[in-house]
Chains A and B, each alone.
Chain A
Amino acid sequence: MAEQKKFKNPLSLQLDPALFETAGEDEKAQQVTMRESVSFMRDAMRRLRRNHIAMISLVVIVLIALIAFIVPTFYPYTYTKQDVTAQNLAPFQYSQKEQAKIARGQNVFPHIMGTDALGRDYAIRVIYGTRISLLVGIFSALIVIIIGIIYGSISGYFGGKVDMIMMRIVDIIYSLPDVLIVILLSVAIKDWVSTSKSALISRLGSGMVSIFIVFGLLYWVSMARQVRGQILSIKEQEYVLASRAIGASPARIIRKHMIPNCVSVIIIIAAMQIPSAIFTESFLSFLGLGVSIPMPSLGSLASDARTGLRSYPYQLIFPALSIFLIVLSFNLLGNGLRDAFDPKLRS
């Protein structure tokens, strides 16, 4: 057999029967995929889990969120309770009244971060401020996601004239100076909020309401642009044509191709939106346009701390540190998400 093959004319049409033998068990085993197929989401999550910085940031965010939402339920102090005998205490310092209590053998919970100028426990105020920041970040991201996806997919799906008009509107909104309009609206809304009968609105304060309004009006544009771009390019992809050719329904194409391909963009942009919303809220609160008194916000706490900055620098340090930690963690998580969900963008 081997001898024969050696001298075989390469142009000969004679077939080698060895090529037509049925495959053995070994050969069949080679065809079996060794690894189960990995979906896009799982692949991205795997990449994210390998990114230590992003995972640490995620843990920090979860910890901060747990502290911000659970601690106030059992904390012995409230953010409104004033105590004239305990003004501007340093961290872990007790007022004379509290010292007397301790001397009597009673338990007094320490002021972990001291107290403010009105004798309110500072730790709980910082915790409430953190809660406001997180809420603003998350709700703003939600608003941006909802409006951006709807607007972007309508524009991308219909294309043509509709798309052109919708995108010109986006261009104009994109070039408006957003922070100035937030300030303007909060000035206007402040007046309206103070007379509003709705308990929720007056508790939220003009800054919060105007941030949500402005995010609803202005900030969704980058999301809409990206979603539209994705939908437009996916529409032209061969695999969409192929699946349409095999008879896939539009619903299936949207479910299997459009949404998974948009998810990465949506996640990345939403993650980038959160720190920017938190920045804006703290900036407004610092200017006195944020949440209504006595509700604290990290920005208003930092602003109030300026009056006693020389004597009580920790009143600035705690809210500053808190906002820094939140924004830093969201930024790093956002970078990690971008790397995990869009490997092409990785620098």
Chain B
Amino acid sequence: MNSKFLAYLVKRLLMALLTIFLVIAITFFVMHAIPASPFSSEKAKSDAVIAALEAKYGFDKPVPVQFLNYLKNILRGDFGLSTGWVGNTVIELIMGGFSYSARIGFTAGLIAIILGIILGSVAALQRGRALDKIIQVLTTALVSMPSFVMATILLLIFALQLGWLPSLGNQPGGLVLPIISLSLYPMAYVTRLQRSSMLDVLGQDYIRTARAKGVRSALVIFKHALKNSLTPVITYAGPMMAYILTGSMVVENIFSVPGLGRLFTNSMLRTDYMMIMGVTIFLATMIILMNFLSDILYKVVDPRIELS
């Protein structure tokens, strides 16, 4: 690891931390710009009760002081108390939901990447033939379909009409449909990325050299072409994380999976501001860290890429 790379690593890390701080600040100040107090929406309460509750949650102090306190607490892993699910801390609820979301999201992401790489490579090798055209039409259609349309149509066909799979996430096999609906869009995206990257690599001189030397074509494809064509897919890891995490908000609602996305939409219904802030910051941190990791990995995998 040379010093130039280390400098890049540090710079990129600082950038990620700054972005996380900004997200926290934006989240905090946007939520505090709302005129209504989190307690005023609830059923008839006397002013004294509201004031007592606000004092309990620290809402009576000036906003900058509250912000500093909030920041300090987050660093200790304390996102405050939930007002919508009384008696629970925000972090407990987040972790409970995340165990579901992580399972669905990780599987969906893995399926998307593996299938995407296979389909994209096949399309590139079959360039211009029928199989390539079929794959291209399918991926174009898939990237034009929002996640909620995909999920509801899958639910309609496979759970309600055909009855092959359960429609609720807590039944055995119930996570299959949510995983499929979350993985189709990223899969199509990876396929397109991989196809163009593979085409690019197949046109390189070293592939021609390898072929000219008489290397078996399977070896050329797997050892030379595939390995070198995978780098652009790495850059998609961050955006894919963002897609899967936000997509799970609708997908978990459609299939009633008690994950983080569903928790988030429920906390919006219950106007639980501490939860909304906590989940936003949690999800944003995941996305920003994923972007950071994929950037670093990209540079590690392909040393030719110039560090800037």
Contacts and interface: CB of A to CB of B under 8 A. Distances in A.
Contact of A309 (B140, B160, B246, B269): B160
Given A192-B34, A282-B146, A286-B250, A175 B152 contact: no
Contacts of A275: 144
A195 interface: yes
A287 B249 contact: yes
Interface in B262-286: 264-265, 268-269, 276, 280, 283-284
19 contacts: A175-B291, A176-B19, A176-B26, A176-B284, A177-B283, A177-B288, A181-B23, A183-B249, A184-B26, A184-B27, A191-B34, A191-B35, A288-B269, A302-B148, A302-B149, A313-B161, A320-B152, A324-B145, A328-B144
Listed residue (A184, A313, A323, A347) with the most chain B CB atoms within 10 angstroms of its CB: A184
Interface string B1-21: 000000000000001101100
Given A187-B268, A328-B144, 9 more contacts: A175-B16, A181-B26, A184-B30, A188-B33, A302-B148, A306-B254, A327-B145, A327-B146, A347-B196
A188 B31 contact: yes
Of residues A177, A287, A331, which shows the largest number of chain B Cβ atoms within 10 Å of its Cβ? Answer: A177
Contacts, number: 118
B199 interface: yes
A135 interface: no
B63 interface: no
B34 A289 contact: no
A176 B27 CA distance: 12
Interface residues of B, number: 48
Given A306-B152, A313-B156, A316-B152, A180 B33 contact: no
Interface in B134-183: 140-141, 143-149, 152-153, 155-156, 160-161
B242 interface: yes
A138 interface: no
B22 A172 contact: yes
Interface in B227-263: 242, 246, 249-250, 253-254
Given A286-B148, A327-B145, A175 B288 contact: yes
Interface in A262-303: 275, 279, 282-283, 286-289, 299, 302-303
A328 B188 CA distance: 14
Nearest to B291: A175
A207 B280 CA distance: 17
Contact of A305 (B15, B140, B146, B152): B152
B36 interface: yes
B146 A283 contact: yes
Contacts of B26: 176, 181, 184
A45 interface: no
A177 B23 contact: yes
A332 interface: yes
A185 interface: yes
Contacts of B152: 302, 305-306, 309, 316, 320
A187 B276 contact: yes
B287 interface: yes
A332 B140 contact: yes
A60 to B, nearest CB: 12
A184 B15 contact: no
B148 A282 contact: yes
A328 B280 contact: no
Given A306-B152, A331-B144, A191 B27 contact: no
